[in-house]
Amino acid sequence: MFEKNKNISALSLSGDLNSEKFYKGLEDLSDYTKYFNDCESLNTMPNGRLVRNYCARLLKYLETNSFSRNNDNEYDYCLLLNYWVYSSLNIILHSKYPSQIVPAFGNIVFIWNSFIKDKLKKPENEICKPNSDIIMHKDWRDRKELYEYYVDYKPIIQTVKNYSYTCKEYYHYVENKKKIYKHFKKHCPSDDTKKCPKYYTQCEPYNPEYVLPTLECHKQIIKEREADASSALQKAKVHSVNEFDSED
């Protein structure tokens, strides 16, 4: 039987998600030491060498990759890049230096903008610019997860259609996103981007409440859970009777 709250991070699908592949590509970047000079000012910060390393990875990625702004480009990987930078800073600074996360991001944004202006020789519509608004959103993790789900959704559904044996695995992944939609339902839709992400309307059709009933394994999973609940109830009754008898 399948547990309702299965640990999603343990699923094998994590390496197949578009967002995970994108982040892994950033983490696996090599030969970025030539950008250390551009990020040198970060060395004086707490955990400065680690912050500098992420800055150098960022600059290398900016120089070696293009971010098309054409209308046919379905996903905004520039937004994912911004989330990767801010999330990475949270990981390496939060435990000991939480007050330094925002200043570190601000310093990287300054270096990022300077790099675009002085060294990046690319057309305007192929440049990824920093998104300073991230630090204004207390729910930035939820926003990040929502956009990742949007980027990952179509490949997931296509995989389920082509390989039915993956249905239950992906079912739990989609189901785990209910909490995000519940969070944003209180604020969205709205034109106020402080309350509601501007990409929320793009994500609305992928709400698990709409998606889960369309998956072919939905009915089977519901039956399994009903059977589990019935079995648990029966065991509880037997246990209660046994306790009552023992008291006599």
Question: Per the domain annotation, does 49 fall within a domain?
Answer: yes
Question: Per the domain annotation, does 98 fall within a domain?
Answer: yes
Q: Which amino acid is at 248?
A: D
Give the pLDDT band (50/70/90) at residue 247: low
What contacts 21, CB < 8 A, 6 or more positions away?
15
User: Which pLDDT score is estimated for 74?
Assistant: 79
Question: Per the domain annotation, does 219 fall within a domain?
Answer: no
- Name the pTM for this structure: 0.85
For 22, 59, 62, the CA distances from 30, given in Å and listed in that order, are: 15, 12, 14
- Where does residue 146 rank: exposed (0-12), middle (13-18), buried (19+ CB within 10 A)? buried
Question: Per the domain annotation, does 24 fall within a domain?
Answer: no
Domain residues for the domain of 83 are 31-136
Question: Per the domain annotation, does 52 fall within a domain?
Answer: yes
40 pLDDT above the threshold of 60: yes
Question: Per the domain annotation, does 37 fall within a domain?
Answer: yes
Helices (H) and strands (E) in the chain, counts: 10, 0
Question: Per the domain annotation, does 92 fall within a domain?
Answer: yes
pLDDT in tens, 126-152: 899 999 999 999 999 999 999 999 999
What contacts 114, CB < 8 A, 6 or more positions away?
38
Q: How many domains does the chain have?
A: 1
User: Which pLDDT score is estimated for 225?
Assistant: 92
Question: Per the domain annotation, does 91 fall within a domain?
Answer: yes
Residue 233 or residue 153, greater confidence: 153
